[in-house]
Chain A
Amino acid sequence: MSPALSSCLILVSWNLSPDDGEEKEYVGFATLPNQVHKKSVKKGFDFTLMVAGESGLGKSTLVNSLFLTNLHKDRKLLNAEERISQTVEITKLTVDIEEKGVKLKLTIVDTVGFGDAVNNTECWTSVTDYINQQFEQYFRDESGLNRKNIQDSRVHCCLYFIPPFGHGLRPVDVEFMKALQDKVNVVPLISKADCLTPTEIKKLKEQLREEIDKYGIKIYQFPDCDSDEDEEFKRQDKELKESSPFAVIGSNTVVEVRGQRVRGRLYPWGIVEVENPTHCDFVKLRTMLIRSHMHDLKDITNDCHYENYRAQIIQTMTSKMNADKRVESPILPLSTSGVETEKLIKMKDEELKRMQQMLQKMQQQMHEQDL
């Protein structure tokens, strides 16, 4: 008597609840979300965040403010003369944090010395190398025999700090973002926004958006929300999209404002509250990064950037193989022959289409002649 589930295209919604008085058929898959929730809590989450930008723009302070902790205990900062010929060093810091039973393994990747040297040509090569290394590691793990415990150390998001002291993007900003746009989700931020008045912030954001378009930099785009979400969510989403890039302020200190203790910066002329939406976009960044789009960032890294890398790697491997004529790794799929036959099929398809069109034309002509 259960409704035939043969045509799965028909959306039938039942009111299924085991507490119904009437004898309704209860299948029970409405509890799937709960099951997913339980499993994921048990498994725990991981997230890798990369922060990039020149020294002194407040990267570490912002990370501390985002995760409400003090990640860097004793940091040794280099002197100016040591930084003259500094090379970029990638440092990784992993912490385990927990909130309401949900465990998060957070990895912060810092680019130390980026843009510090006097000669900064190609200073991002170590960054791209690092990201590629993580992809390679995952690729190997994925193709291995024992895939039980794959550690995902791929970089899910890169926060790029743009200094607020200039008039827009600088050459080093453009080059860095272009080098990374196909490997990681790049989120540009205006750092130390407490040196800009609201009009200046607006002007700078417009300028940055224009320049990002002009140079064709592919930054992370928020996905459009579904049309059946409620109005509040849609409004929030629209607001988020319009205030990109975010102008943020970070703080390591807690100050007292209006009887409350909040994170902020104390100046002789006033107190900047980090979490005040009229002061800066920190709240929006936190919402986007942690509360709503964290998983989306991971998905895009997995589906888009990683797949690109994988396809590239496989192609280079097979082209090398064809050149060497040696069978090496067993994990190679039949992609080359597949790709070639696909190409042939496509060609034949196009030919067929053309001939069909010609045929149609001739038929039309004959028809007209008959008339």
Chain B
Amino acid sequence: MASSDVARQPDKGARPLSLAGHVGFDSLPDQLVNKSICQGFCFNILCIGETGIGKSTLMDTLFNTNFENFESSHFEPQVKLRAQTYDLQESNVRLRLTVVNTVGFGDQMNKQESYQPVVDYIDRQFESYLQEELKIKRSLHNYHDSRVHACLYFISPSGHSLKSLDLVTMKKLDSKVNIIPVIAKADTISKSELHKFKIKIMSELVSNGVQIYQFPLDDETVAKVNTTMNGHLPFAVVGSTEEVSVGNKMVKARQYPWGVVQVENENHCDFVKLREMLICVNMEDLREQTHTRHYELYRRCKLEEMGFKDTDPECKPVSLQQTYEAKRQEFLLELQRREDEMRQMFVQRVKEKEGELKEAERELQSRFEQLKRLHADEKATLEDKKRLLDEDQSSFSKRRAAAQLLQAQSLTANGKKDKDRKNSGFM
């Protein structure tokens, strides 16, 4: 957990003692510094601005290196975010820098949803940190903190005022991230116009309740510088990675037919101020603000959503553990209830099915009986018919036999007669 900058209030239970000699715990800050140098630092910048407004060039100029970004087209259908992580080193201090750029911001015809991908990205980083924090086995000191520490919002140098898209987007982001508005491509505005433009921008931000990042005034060593810088917001910057020879030096500048705009000349633009404020003086404060203010807000909202509270209905403080227990019980009860329900339903279904099956069986049985009776009836009729037929047959065969006998008798009688006749004839 971060320590606060404010001097600690003297504890009521502890009495202040004075030391008789040098003990040596004044080296604590040095120990802290040594440890953090060994660990390395981590910083994440989000750059929001229209395509071609100079985000990548400014990053290159700020960190004096080439981040190898390529130009994007104007015809992206939706706003996307592109994050790239680099490891930089200056003297013996290592910095892990993540630069997140918006792609296609401000190009669509309908920009009502343009802020959403940015907000989603920032929330995702908070969410993954929260998950890590809530784990049982966690390794926060090894965790690569990807939460956005600073957001540079690039304002188009129209010279009149903010664009409507700028206002809408900054309003959505001011409670999630430290916003530092900058006026991009400031070499197109003359000094008098710039003064008016800055005043107009700040008044519009104030009147719409947008909270931009104010440089901290607590620490006396930097309070004075920060107050002056706060008055110069938003910074009008010019970025360039090309070098032009001015006098006898090579400086970063832009060469025009009418003159040379030097990036590091305070008279020409506010680049030096931005670099000092962003990197040299307030980087650590930006990280701290992100952790103590924006992340804590996110965490609180998220946990409240999940149902956790700091005090239960009787306004007694409830610890997280108790809430966990209560939630777990609730969950288990719910499970039990569901199981019982399911069981009941199952039993009921089984009964129904059984009933149906029995019904079907009975029906089948009755049909079987019916068929059997029919069959028996038919068999009886057939038997009768067969009997009749047999009788007929037997009577017929008797008659035939009788007829045959008769025929045979008549034949023999006729033969005798014939013989007699013949015989008589001869006589």
Contact = CB atoms under 8 A, between A and B. Distances in A.
Contacts of A172: 109
A77 B74 contact: no
Contacts of A97: none
Nearest to B170: A80
Interface string B47-67: 000111110000000000000
A80 B167 contact: yes
B71 A84 contact: no
A70 interface: no
Contact of A167 (B73, B109, B158, B185): B73
A269 B187 CA distance: 9
Contact of B187 (A55, A77, A195): A195
A22 B262 CA distance: 74
A84 B50 contact: no
A15 interface: no
B296 interface: no
Contacts of A197: 254-256
Contacts of A57: 158
Interface string B151-173: 00000111111111111100000
B184 interface: yes
A275 interface: no
Interface in A49-82: 54-57, 77, 79-81
Contact of B158 (A56, A170, A265): A56
A273 B258 CA distance: 8
B50 A80 contact: no
A121 B157 contact: no
B166 A80 contact: yes
A197 B57 CA distance: 15
Interface stretch (A40-48, A111-119, A126-134): A111-119
A41 B314 CA distance: 93
A279 interface: yes
B112 A56 contact: no
B110 A269 contact: no
A191 B72 CA distance: 21
Contact of A84 (B53, B164, B257): B164
A307 B53 CA distance: 42
B164 A118 contact: yes
Interface in A77-93: 77, 79-81, 83-84, 86
Interface string B221-248: 0000000000000000000000000000
A165 B50 contact: yes
A77 B162 CA distance: 12
Contact of A194 (B112, B166, B168, B188): B188
B160 A167 contact: no
Given A120-B109, A195-B187, A267-B187, A165 B160 contact: no
Contacts of B268: 268-269
B235 to A, nearest CB: 16
A198 interface: yes
B274 to A, nearest CB: 18
Nearest to B158: A56
Interface string B106-117: 011111101000
Contacts of A167: 51-52, 71-74
B208 interface: yes
A166 B164 contact: no
Interface in B23-52: 50-52
B275 to A, nearest CB: 19
A278 B157 contact: no
Contact of B51 (A166, A270, A276): A166
A72 to B, nearest CB: 13
B256 A121 contact: no
Given A80-B162, A80-B163, A167-B52, A118 B168 contact: yes
A168 interface: yes
Contacts of B255: 197
Given A165-B185, A197-B255, A77 B110 contact: no
A120 B110 contact: yes
B75 interface: yes
A271 interface: yes
B259 interface: yes
Given A56-B158, A80-B167, A171-B75, A270 B110 contact: no
A80 B163 CA distance: 5
Interface in A9-64: 54-57
Nearest to B240: A197
A159 interface: no
Given A118-B164, A194-B188, A267-B187, A175 B109 contact: yes
A362 interface: no
A272 interface: yes
Contact of B262 (A86, A117, A165, A269): A269
B260 interface: yes
B276 interface: no
A252 to B, nearest CB: 10
Interface in A261-290: 265-273, 276, 278-279
The 4 closest A-B pairs by CB, nearest first: A56-B158, A270-B259, A195-B188, A166-B52
22 contacts: A56-B158, A79-B161, A84-B168, A118-B168, A119-B109, A119-B110, A120-B111, A163-B156, A165-B54, A168-B74, A171-B75, A171-B108, A195-B188, A198-B257, A265-B190, A266-B190, A267-B259, A269-B258, A269-B268, A270-B258, A271-B259, A279-B257
Interface of A: 54-57, 77, 79-81, 83-84, 86, 116-121, 163-172, 175, 192, 194-195, 197-198, 265-273, 276, 278-279
Interface of B: 50-54, 71-75, 107-112, 114, 156-168, 184-185, 187-188, 190-191, 204, 207-208, 254-262, 267-268
Given A167-B71, A270-B260, 19 more contacts: A56-B158, A79-B161, A116-B163, A118-B111, A118-B112, A118-B164, A119-B111, A163-B156, A165-B156, A165-B157, A165-B185, A166-B50, A167-B51, A170-B107, A171-B74, A192-B157, A195-B187, A269-B258, A270-B259
